Amino acid sequence: MGVYPGDRHIRRSGEDYASQFLKLLPKGQAWDSKTEPSTTLWKVCRGLAEYWGFVDARAADLLEREADPRWTLELLPDWERAWGLPDPCFPEMTTIAERRKMLVLYMTWLGGQSRAYFIWLMEFIGYKINKIGEFAPFMAGISRCGDTREVDIIRDEDGTPILNPDGSIQRVPKGNFRWYIGPPEQRFAWTVSVGAANLMWFRAASGQSGVNHHLEIGIPDDLNCLLNRWKPSHTDLVLDFHELTYGSPMAGTP
């Protein structure tokens, strides 16, 4: 039997239970006057039924909210214990929203080892990854010399390619080189270009001369922790900060 799309759980209040309970009382001249709102019998039934309204509401909370990890509140610690949380990479994760987000991630992620997977994973957590670079050692007979990067054609506002003085199309290289001179073990290394990081500028009111640097880049320890845990075990990870967005000069100030 199919379920009607509009079906949903309906909450019953203490007044709803009292109304039905009073209808179960005996009928007759001796009872009719005792079921008026001003009578003691009505007040007793109303008070007893209030407890069942409370039980109904708590059951509804369990079905409508606590059974859904996206909205759970009271059972959040139980959900976390079942999924091995809190994560040691996020010791400072304390808000309910952050804990729910990590819980949903643990429950829904399918795993993967592609660049797109790691970029999506970090964006879900809140980090912007510019790109992930991989290395391939130069091999005679297979690799070629020269600039092996892909290129973008420079175009004007109308989309027409812009030409160099010699008549050739202007191109700008993008991405990584296809091959690199180096040991064959470099094939097991990969870099993650982080888009943003915490910046701590030296301030006369809070910094100490000779101790604090003019600018300190806060390495995202949680990002580094997660990537090193989830990366293929035979690879080495290197965080790349050369394309950081620095934002306002007041970034990192109290």
Among the listed residues 142, 106, 138, the one whose alpha carbon sits nearest the alpha carbon of residue 124:
106
Q: What is the pTM of this model?
A: 0.56
Cβ contacts of 124 within 8 Å, gap of 6 or more: 101, 105
SS (H, E, C) the chain: CCCCCCCCCCCCCHHHHHHHHHHCCCCCHHHHHHHCCCCHHHHHHHHHHHHHHHHHHHHHHHHHHHCCCCCCCCCHHHHHHHCCCCCCCCCCCCCHHHHHHHHHHHHHCCCCCCHHHHHHHHHHHCCCEEEEEECCECCCCCCCCCCCCEEEECECCCCCECECCCCCECEEEECCCCCECCCHHHHHEEEEEECCCEEEECCCCCCCCCCCCCEEEECCHHHHHHHHHHCCCCCEEEEECCCCCCCCCCCCCC
pLDDT digits (tens, 9 = 90+) for 80-98: 999 988 888 876 666 888 8
User: What is the residue-level pLDDT of the chain in tens, covering all 254 positions?
Assistant: 444 455 567 888 988 998 888 888 888 777 777 677 888 888 888 899 998 999 998 988 888 889 999 999 999 999 999 998 888 887 666 688 888 888 998 898 878 888 888 888 888 777 888 888 888 888 888 787 877 777 778 888 888 888 888 888 887 777 677 777 888 888 899 998 887 766 677 777 777 788 778 777 767 778 888 889 888 889 999 888 777 665 555 555 55
What pLDDT does 1 receive?
42
pLDDT digits (tens, 9 = 90+) for 14-36: 889 988 888 888 887 777 776 77
Question: CA-to-CA distance for 115 and 112, rounded, in angstroms?
Answer: 9
Question: CA-to-CA distance for 47 and 33, rounded, in angstroms?
Answer: 19
Question: CA-to-CA distance for 113 and 234, rounded, in angstroms?
Answer: 12
Q: Which two tokens stand for residue 145?
A: 């010399």
Question: CA-to-CA distance for 40 and 20, rounded, in angstroms?
Answer: 17
What pLDDT does 76 receive?
92
Domain residue ranges of the chain, discontinuous segments joined by +: 14-66, 70-108, 113-143+179-240
Among the listed residues 72, 73, 194, the one whose alpha carbon sits nearest the alpha carbon of residue 126:
194
